[in-house]
Structure 1
Amino acid sequence: MKEDFLHYVWQHQYFDKTALLTEDGQPITVLRPGHRNPDAGPDFLNARLQLGEVEWNGAVEIHIRASDWHRHQHQTDAKYDQVVLHVVYAADAPVQRTNGSAIPALALQPRIAPELLAAYERLSSQPPEAALPCAPLLAQVPQLTRTMMLDRALLERVEQKADRISALHGHTGQDWEATAWHALAAAFGFQKNTDPMSRLARALPLSLVRRHRHDATQLAALVFGQAGFLEDAPTDEYSGQLRQEFAFLRHKYSLHGTALALHDWNFLRLRPANFPSVRLVQLLALLHARPTLFDALVTAKDVRALELFFAVPLPAYWQSHTRPGKPGKTGPLGKSSIHLLITNLVVPLRVAYARSVGSPEQVEAAVTLLEQLPPEHNHLTEIYEAAGFSNQSAADSQGLLALQRGYCAPRRCLACGIGARLLRQ
């Protein structure tokens, strides 16, 4: 048993409250169990309890064994002096505050229904390699419960991505166009190169991008020069021109020491179409073709409009080179890559902006874009599909991935609506 099970039992009051008594015989009436404390200190704050004839407002601390209080050194920590009730599974020792005063204890072991404990143990006993711990029990869960949990997980995932965009917005001085530039660059990393792409955006201010975006050669010199791809690039006429342009621009804008190095980029186990140099080619083509980023990304009416925004042709040189001076076939962004950009960039950007202006309708419209995109299929989504979950759109896929990473993998079954339903049954 883990403490989170007792937290769940106390929070929802899933125990027999008949003739409820502390270990020293005081009657207990739970007027308010309190709310979970996400920070250091007691587990539940602002609880309201009547112990005997006295009503208390304070904290509740929960342990499997009462003696855990001493193992965790709470008797020397003043944060726990506010505890008015010690809720435990087994009361094996009395406990005190820092001033030596005794804390009443409530033992739940005889009050938890055996069926509830058995259901919890069935969930928690699944082997670590089981991606979906409740799979053997899912037939007992109504489809509505699954759908509601999937929607909840999806919204949590979108909100987490939007939080990162909001943080970027703060770092850029509340400049939405600069925020869109930083978010766009990071998204073009496509996971493996997200970090170096983010560093590139910091090394290449939007003001320089705007100033030189009309000149394709100067823009390419800035992008590949700051990315570190010009230092040891094989020389052909065009790459020599880029190197010369970058030397001039680096001196003009005092960019010395800000560029990345070639070894900062990840090429290992990537298909050539996903090489960071290829993504840089596609990024600079987009920057050259699109005068604004933020406005276009947040006002596009639908997925089709966004597909057209990202689908820009490459100049002739880049169609036959994967990086400066290195021949190879390079193509524009594929539709699947564009869909990933809509999922990981456009939707959270729109949600972050909608929250900043207080527009719930725009939040809903942004999430609706995911319902217009095809689903993602990988080894994780296949596990859930085999268990009966729907995966008909990117909204479903994102919900499934959020469910797996946020609940199933860390075994947060008690925080999951599906796990809670199984326990209630």
Structure 2
Amino acid sequence: MREDFYHYVWQHQYFDKADLRTAAGEEIQVLKPGHRNADAGPDFLNARLRVGDVEWNGAVEIHLRASDWTRHQHQTDPKYDQVILHVVGQHDADVARTNGSLIPTLALQTRIAPELLARYQTLVEAPAAAPLPCAPLLHLVPEITRTMMVERALLERVERKADDVLALHQRLGQDWEATAYHALMTAFGFQKNSEPLARLAKALPLSVLRRHRHDQRQLEALLFGQAGFLVESDETAADDYIRDLRQEHEFLRHKYQLQDAALAVHEWNYLRLRPANFPPVRLGQLAGLLHARPALFDALLTAQSVAALTEFFQAPAPEYWRTHFRPGRTGKVPGLGKGSIDLLITNVVVPLRVAYARHVGQPEVVESSVALLSELPAEHNRYTDVYEALGFAHHTAADSQGLLALHKSYCAPRRCLHCAIGNRLVQQPRPAR
């Protein structure tokens, strides 16, 4: 049994209300259960109850056992002084506010229909190896419910990413151009090298890079030098181009006092990467993009279609990095692929645009930004494949992102009661067979 089950039961009032009384024997009438509190403090706010002859307005706190109140130290926290009812599974202790006044307790364990509890347990106690606890029961859920839940999960995922962008925007002094730069740098790592590229963005501030964006040689020197790729080695000993960049970086590094910020070669990841995904290749693509597209944020914000964004990201890398997988090592290097561009639109452009729209109060931009995902092809991985096999629609990146969000936020942590699909299965009895 988990506490969220009692949250669910209280929120929807799925319990026997006949002769409803507190543990002390006072009659209770629930006039308004309150609304869920997403922040710190009691679980439900603005509840309205009649206890005995007195009507109360305040909060409701929910626990598996009444003694959890003390275990969680609520008796010393003034935020819980507003609690007017303690709803529990089992009443094993009386509880009090910080001033010592007792709080009425309602025990629900014997008031919940056994079949409701059984339906809940079927879902949350499914084997850990089961990717979807509701898989055997999905045929009982209308397709419209599944579709709406995936759409809801998608919007929640986009909003969370937008929250991250807004937090980054705040840290960078509310500079949208710098925000776009940092977000793009991080995303160009494509997971394996996202963390070192995020640190490279800090090691090479946009304020410095802006001064040299129109000089491709200096821009390369700054990027590759701060990334640690211009150190002398056996492979680069006879490479005049790398030697020239190294000398330029030394000058610029001292000029802007960047000495202590550079990364080291060993901080980059190559394991299980194809040469086309090597960090120097990605940096070369970034160098071409930053040189050809000096106004990142404005371009990403105003592009009207996936086609326009694809063209934006197809800026050619500098000539050297089209023929070298890493400094001093030659080979034919492909340009930024369509799949990679689609991921950048999904993970950078859409969250960036949604964050900006929320910041300036333009809800129509949120809608048009999310709609871009419907123009992109679906992603396929071990998570989305499971849902597709179970009959979930999976045609576009909007579907993929929704399914990934459904897995991460609901199915994997067994938050079935928060999911429209699980909620429907718990509420409705199974048809007779």
TM norm structure 1: 0.95
What secondary structure sits across from 1:14 in the alignment?
Answer: coil
- Distance in 2, Cα, partners of 1:123 & 1:353: 39
- Residue of structure 2 aligned with 1:307, choices 307, 310, 313: 310
- Distance in 1, Cα, partners of 2:376 & 2:125: 37
Matched, 1:108 2:108: yes
1:69 Cα shift? 3.3
Matched, 1:55 2:55: yes
- Distance in 1, Cα, partners of 2:258 & 2:66: 62
- Residue of structure 1 aligned with 2:374, choices 371, 376, 380: 371
Q: Which residue of 2 aligns with 1:402?
A: 405
Matched, 1:291 2:294: yes
Distance 1:102 1:205, change over 3 A: closer
Identity %: 69
Cα-to-partner distance string for 1:47-100 (whole Å, 9 max, x where unaligned): 221101001122222222333334445445554443322212222333344444
Q: Which residue of 1 aligns with 2:431?
A: none
- Distance in 2, Cα, partners of 1:359 & 1:380: 33
What secondary structure sits across from 1:129 in the alignment?
Answer: coil
Q: Which residue of 1 aligns with 2:44?
A: 44
Q: Which residue of 1 aligns with 2:276?
A: 273
Q: Which residue of 2 aligns with 1:134?
A: 134
Q: Which piece of structure 1 moves more, 367-376 or 316-325? A: 316-325
Distance 1:73 1:343, change over 3 A: closer
Q: Which piece of structure 1 moves more, 19-28 or 68-77? A: 68-77
1:369 Cα shift? 0.5
Unaligned runs of 5+ in 2: 429-433
Matched, 1:420 2:396: no
Cα-to-partner distance string for 1:314-356 (whole Å, 9 max, x where unaligned): 3332221112222233221000000000000111111111112
- Distance in 2, Cα, partners of 1:220 & 1:346: 24
- Distance in 2, Cα, partners of 1:329 & 1:10: 63
One-letter amino acid of the structure 2 residue matched with residue 175 of structure 1:
D
Q: Which residue of 1 aligns with 2:23?
A: 23
1:205 Cα shift? 1.9
What secondary structure sits across from 1:126 in the alignment?
Answer: coil
Matched, 1:89 2:89: yes
Does the 8 Å CA contact 2:214/2:291 hold for their aligned counterparts? yes
Does the 8 Å CA contact 1:59/1:84 hold for their aligned counterparts? yes
1:35 Cα shift? 2.6
One-letter amino acid of the structure 1 residue matched with residue 338 of structure 2:
K
Does the 8 Å CA contact 1:314/1:331 hold for their aligned counterparts? no
1:309 Cα shift? 0.9
What secondary structure sits across from 1:49 in the alignment?
Answer: strand
What secondary structure sits across from 2:129 in the alignment?
Answer: coil
- Distance in 2, Cα, partners of 1:66 & 1:356: 43
Matched, 1:332 2:335: yes
Q: Which piece of structure 1 moves more, 118-127 or 206-215? A: 206-215
- Distance in 2, Cα, partners of 1:177 & 1:63: 47
1:3 Cα shift? 0.8
Does the 8 Å CA contact 2:87/2:105 hold for their aligned counterparts? yes
One-letter amino acid of the structure 2 residue matched with residue 306 of structure 1:
L
One-letter amino acid of the structure 1 residue matched with residue 191 of structure 2:
Q
1:384 Cα shift? 0.4
Distance 1:206 1:97, change over 3 A: closer
What secondary structure sits across from 1:25 in the alignment?
Answer: coil
- Residue of structure 2 aligned with 1:252, choices 217, 242, 255: 255
1:253 Cα shift? 1.6
- Distance in 2, Cα, partners of 1:40 & 1:165: 23
- Distance in 2, Cα, partners of 1:356 & 1:156: 17
Q: Which residue of 1 aligns with 2:166?
A: 166
- Distance in 2, Cα, partners of 1:237 & 1:100: 79
- Distance in 1, Cα, partners of 2:2 & 2:287: 52
Does the 8 Å CA contact 2:287/2:317 hold for their aligned counterparts? no
Does the 8 Å CA contact 2:49/2:56 hold for their aligned counterparts? yes
Q: Which residue of 2 aligns with 1:183?
A: 183
- Distance in 2, Cα, partners of 1:44 & 1:362: 33
1:28 Cα shift? 0.9
CA RMSD, Structure 1 to Structure 2 (Å): 1.7
- Distance in 1, Cα, partners of 2:306 & 2:232: 40
Matched, 1:389 2:392: yes
1:40 Cα shift? 4.2
- Distance in 1, Cα, partners of 2:378 & 2:207: 37
Q: Which piece of structure 1 moves more, 71-80 or 142-151? A: 71-80
Equivalent positions of 1:208-223 (< 5 A) are 208-223=208-223
Q: Which piece of structure 1 moves more, 33-42 or 167-176? A: 33-42
Q: Which residue of 2 aligns with 1:238?
A: 241
- Distance in 2, Cα, partners of 1:219 & 1:277: 14
Distance 1:412 1:210, change over 3 A: same
Matched, 1:64 2:67: no
Does the 8 Å CA contact 1:238/1:325 hold for their aligned counterparts? no
Matched, 1:198 2:198: yes
What secondary structure sits across from 1:29 in the alignment?
Answer: strand
1:257 Cα shift? 0.9
What secondary structure sits across from 1:288 in the alignment?
Answer: helix
- Distance in 2, Cα, partners of 1:68 & 1:207: 53
- Distance in 2, Cα, partners of 1:163 & 1:80: 29
1:19 Cα shift? 2.5
Does the 8 Å CA contact 2:35/2:44 hold for their aligned counterparts? yes
What secondary structure sits across from 2:208 in the alignment?
Answer: helix
1:39 Cα shift? 4.2
